[in-house]
Amino acid sequence: MFKRHPFLRAIVIFIECWLIGLAVLAIMYFAYIRDWQMNWGASDEDISRVMVGDELRTDPELNATRAVIIKGSPEQIWPWLVQMGYNRGGFYAFDKLDHGGIPSADSIIPEFQNLQVGDTITFLQVVEMVPNESMLWVFLPHLGGWGGGTWSWGLYPIDDQHTKLVSRLRQNYTYDSIQEIIMWSMMDALEIVMMRTSMLGIKHRVEGG
C-alpha cells in the first residue's frame, strides 16, 4: 500500500519519528531530570521537613520543594514575599507572562505590606502566615485543575547573615480532558523555569543587585 502512496508513507514515518522522539524525551525527563527540577536547590532536610499546608494535599503528583540561600535576614526577605502578586509587586519572574507587562517591583512598596490572612492575591488566597517565618497560599477553586493547590513559603535562618528561602508547590493532577493532560504535562516539566526565576529575583532584590 505504501509503495503506491509514497506521500502517505512519508507522513507515517514523520509521525513515527515524532512519537519515538517524544517517548525518548519522556523517559529522559522522568529518569534524569524530574527529581532535580522538582527539588532545585533543596537539601534532603528541606524536602522532608513539614511545611504549612502539607496536610491539605496528601500524596500529590506535583510536590515541588525549591530553595535558595539569600544573604539577608528573614526580616529583610519577608516584605518582598508579602507584596508579591498581580497588580502588586509582581512575581519577580517573567512580567510579560505573569504581570501584564508591568515590571516587578525593585523596592519595598508600603501600601502592599498590610497583607492579612483571608486576603486574595489575584488567583491565590492567603490561608496562613507567621511574619518573618512562613506563609501559605491556596489556589482559588474556580481555577480548574489548579483549584485547591497549595503554595507555601518558609524562611529558615542559617546564620546571622544568611537565610534559606524555601517554596513548596503541591497539587493533585486531574485528567478529565485532553486539555488538562496537556496542561499538566507541560506544567510538570516547565513550571521550574518560572519558580526558579522568581526565587532568584527575590534573592537579587534582597541582596541589593
Give the model confidence (pLDDT) of 127-183 as tens digits.
999 999 999 999 998 777 788 999 999 999 999 999 999 999 999 887 777 877 777
Q: What is the pLDDT of residues 83-121, one digit of tens each?
A: 999 889 999 998 887 788 889 999 999 999 999 999 998
User: What pLDDT is attached to residue 60?
Assistant: 92
User: What pLDDT is attached to residue 150?
Assistant: 96
The more confidently predicted of residues 2 and 11 is 11
User: What pLDDT is attached to residue 51?
Assistant: 97
User: What pLDDT is attached to residue 209?
Assistant: 59
pLDDT at 33 over 80: no
For the chain, helix (H) and strand (E) counts, in that order, are 6, 6
CA distance 18 to 7: 17
Q: Which CATH code fits 39-206?
A: 3.30.530.20
CA distance 135 to 133: 7
200 contact partners, CB below 8 Å, separation of at least 6 = 68
CA distance 102 to 10: 47
pLDDT at 9 over 80: no
What are the two backbone dihedrals, phi and then psi, of residue 25, each rounded to the nearest 5 degrees? -60, -40
The residue assigned the cell 489548579 is 146
Least confident of 6-10, 65-69, 85-89, 180-184: 6-10
What's the whole-number mean pLDDT along residues 2-18? 56
pTM of the model: 0.84
Q: What is the pLDDT of residues 44-60, one digit of tens each?
A: 999 999 999 999 998 89
pLDDT at 25 over 60: no
